[in-house]
Amino acid sequence: MIVCCVKVLIRYNTESDGRTLPWRLLLDGKEYLVNEIKIEKASYTSTDWLEDKQCFKHHITVNDCEVSIDDKLHAVIK
């Protein structure tokens, strides 16, 4: 699967057992769980306040990119 995105947010999946699906990719607001991520484009850290959960969430952010996810759920961000 390949998706072109305006913004990708990468967060740790706190519901993971630590061995499978440890990463959450938010691609223009839609969530995908993956096992591994390779970032080949400039990235930066960002923080959002989530009003519904009353907490801050921190992420690695990549703008204007292409994301591919293979059948082993390994993601590449270019």
The reported pTM is 0.87
Give CA torsion, residues 62, 70, 20, 13, to 10 deg: 20
Burial bucket for residue 73 (CB in 10 Å: 0-12, 13-18, 19+): middle
Q: What is the pLDDT averaged over residues 68-75? A: 96
pLDDT tens, position by position, 28-55: 889 999 999 999 999 999 999 989 989 9
Who has greater pLDDT, 56 or 1?
56
Confidence of residue 1 (pLDDT cuts 50, 70, 90): confident
| Whole-number pLDDT of residue 3 | 81
Give me 24's structure tokens: 């959450």
Contacts of 64 (CB under 8 A, 6+ apart): 5, 6
